[in-house]
Amino acid sequence: MRFVPDFIAQFFTKGSPLYKDLQTMLGFTPTNIALYELALCHRSNNANSTENNERLEFLGDAILGAIIGEHLFTKYPTKPEGYLTDMRSKIVNRKTLNQIALKIGLKSIMKFNEQDYYLRNSLIFGNALEALIGAIYIDKGYATTRTFLRKRILVPFVDIELLENIEVNMKNKLIGWASKQGKTIEFVVLEETMEKGRKRFTVGVLYEDEIIAKSMASNKKEASKIAAEEAIKKLELV
């Protein structure tokens, strides 16, 4: 059964440079290459195609959370639930995943609209990493997925001690700072649009009745978080 159209499949034929790059990245030989082709296909690659990595991203997100949860539970047997939850959130943070995806070279083998400046500098690569995890899980099972994450992601790219010092909830940090300063901070939805059949939300940070930062994302929570990060930079709170 084919999961992707021929115009994508041609890039990942066995023996092609991209296929070899994928093998090197994974540390094993894919069995169902169609799954990986799909995982690396962003919906912007073909506006008329419904074949993209979003469903695999959904699955990969769940599998990633479970494996990271198991890893933290085993590694820190004396840590409370709050610590484990916080650390998992930091590891699976969109920005963190995107940075890891770029480091392992995922951008170079993805299929997306490279003419779109926003996409080239967005978080779609972290999303593709989640889709890749979903593909590995379907193709090879839980044990192989866990091994891939530990050997290829956690060990080389995740520094737990460093993450302990990172404040993930930028929105709460910003609100807390404003409260101490006697200032007002609000997060407001500036615009809600439809893009290729999906909702896009633009959220702004309202500081003392002035929009000082804004961001667009596929959900309000993500847009608020990114806008908060931009506001923190602008206010020089980092």
Annotated catalytic residue: which of 37, 57, 86, 130?
130
Sorted by sequence, the CB contacts under 8 Å of residue 141 that are 6+ apart come out as none
Q: Is 130 assigned a catalytic role?
A: yes
DSSP helix/strand/coil, 169:
coil
Residue that is written with structure tokens 């779109």 in the block: 116
Residue 215 to residue 197: CA distance in whole angstroms: 19
Q: Is 61 assigned a catalytic role?
A: yes
Annotated catalytic residue: which of 61, 164, 186, 209?
61
> Could you tell me if 21 and 7 are in contact, meaning their C-beta atoms sit under 8 angstroms apart?
no
Residue 138 to residue 125: CA distance in whole angstroms: 20
Query: In the sheet where 185-195 sits, what is the strand order?
Result: 185-195, 198-207, 210-217
Q: Which residues are catalytic?
A: 61, 130
